[in-house]
Amino acid sequence: MHADLLAPLDLAFWNIESDQHPMHLGALGVFSAHSPTAGAHAADLLAARAAAVPGLRMRIRDVWQPLGFGGAARETDPDFDPLNHVRLHAPTSDFHAVAGRLMERPLERDRPPWEAHVLPGEDGVSFAVLFKFHHALADGLRALKLAAGVMDPLDLPVRAPRSIEPPRPMLALPDVRRLPELVRGALSDVGRALDIGASVALSALGVSSSAALTSEPTSTRSIAGVDLDIDDVHRVRKAVGGTVNDVLIAVVAGALRRWLVERGDGTEGVAPRALIPVSKRRPRTVAPQGNRLSGYLIRLPVDNPDPIARLDRVRTAMVRNKDAGPNRGAGAVALLADHVPALGHRLGGPLVGQAARLWFDILVTSVPLPGVGLRLGGHPLTAVYPLAPLAPGQSLAVAISTYRNRVHYGLVADASAVPDLDVLARAVTDEVDSLIAVCDP
């Protein structure tokens, strides 16, 4: 049976997980329905198609062989049954409420770590599908590819086949002529690791966040979705400058400020550290199973009352991070996983998870989606709310996607620490309206 050892970062995600902090990604897709039975038909299609997607048949098992001692590997599950992964639920009037409860539950670790929950709408004209993928199985791009594999086929132009280089033997010895180059590379890696470690330590100095963003960990989850018009975002970008992503991050900062003010919490001096993941995956990678992530770390200017000034500070911070590149700085701490042996990940995983609150205060991530319209059983996908996992001790995570000229914010919260997530969701919309009013009076 063929098995692929998990990459170091995948192994870290596999070992960081706990019952209170499951490490799965999620996406809540909402579809328009042609009939009240559309949800049931969608569940049947998902189960039937899942068996034909190789990545959905992959389970993760521990490895105790000498070459991978303490690690884990992906392998095909010989007993794979799609019915263990696709569930049809009772009709509901609140997709987000049901999805929040489903996000609380860890995935089964003895079978392929993914699930698809079909939620028929009580209105009979819509249904939703909540996809859950363990972060060790897939990053955002890989999860998108796996989910797309069970959607209706797309009529796309056929690309000419590309030549694929054969994989290098795992145990190949280095060419002695390249030893000086390899030594220089190793020293460079050590230097980069030290630089990242020092940046992480410095980032914790003078931290000014809010107690609302940290909490004693619980297993409760709630989610909320916000739907914006991409044209509104472009209006702000054209008026003020920067990128679309700069505007979307600044909206998070402004929404947090509004939320904290409404809660009666102070915002003076509050500038929480936001981790902005950066994909290091090359386009059209031959074998894109493993996570290839780095990140940028910025301070969200929640303390600044001026929405334009907040956007300017976000833009400046992002330019500074991009100039430094994704391989250095505190946000690149995920790259340190490559320098930890497999057994170290297994033994130190829980400690690493608990240390997340020392590294950043909130996750703000963007998930790319295809520009083409997706369908399931002929029913068009109308909205996609990406959902990120919560790190131990953190109360909020924000994921953002753009699909069919709409921007969707997926907000995930510790339900015990943030009982008013709906207030934050409204604040996102209010912040966009405020920016538009300033830019286009």
pLDDT tens sequence across 127-178: 999 999 999 998 888 888 899 999 998 754 444 444 444 444 444 444 445 4
CA atoms of 264 and 87, how far apart (whole Å): 41
Q: Measured between alpha carbons, how far apart are the two ends of the chain, in Å?
A: 64
212 pLDDT exceeds 70? yes
Q: Is the dihedral of CA 128, 132, 137, 141 positive or negative?
A: positive
How confident is the model over 85-109, as a mean pLDDT? Answer: 96
Q: At 180, is the pLDDT very low, low, confident or very high (cuts 50, 70, 90)?
A: low
Token pair 């969707």 is at which residue? 408
186 pLDDT exceeds 90? no
Q: Which of 198-207, 214-223, 252-261, 417-426 has the lowest mean pLDDT?
A: 198-207
How confident is the model over 111-130, as a mean pLDDT? Answer: 97
Q: Which of 50-54, 62-66, 95-99, 424-428 has the lowest mean pLDDT?
A: 62-66
Residues forming a β-bridge with 227 = 408
Q: At 335, is the pLDDT very low, low, confident or very high (cuts 50, 70, 90)?
A: very low
Specify the pLDDT at position 322: 87
Instruction: Give the model confidence (pLDDT) of 220-260 as tens digits.
Output: 999 999 999 999 999 999 999 999 999 999 999 999 999 99
13 pLDDT exceeds 70? yes
Tokens for 279, please give them.
Answer: 């994909």
Specify the pLDDT at position 439: 84
Strands 71-76 and 375-376: unpaired
CA atoms of 373 and 154, how far apart (whole Å): 9
Tokens for 120, please give them.
Answer: 């028929």
Is residue 33 a contact partner of residue 378, using CB atoms and an 8 Å limit? no
How confident is the model over 98-109, as a mean pLDDT? Answer: 96
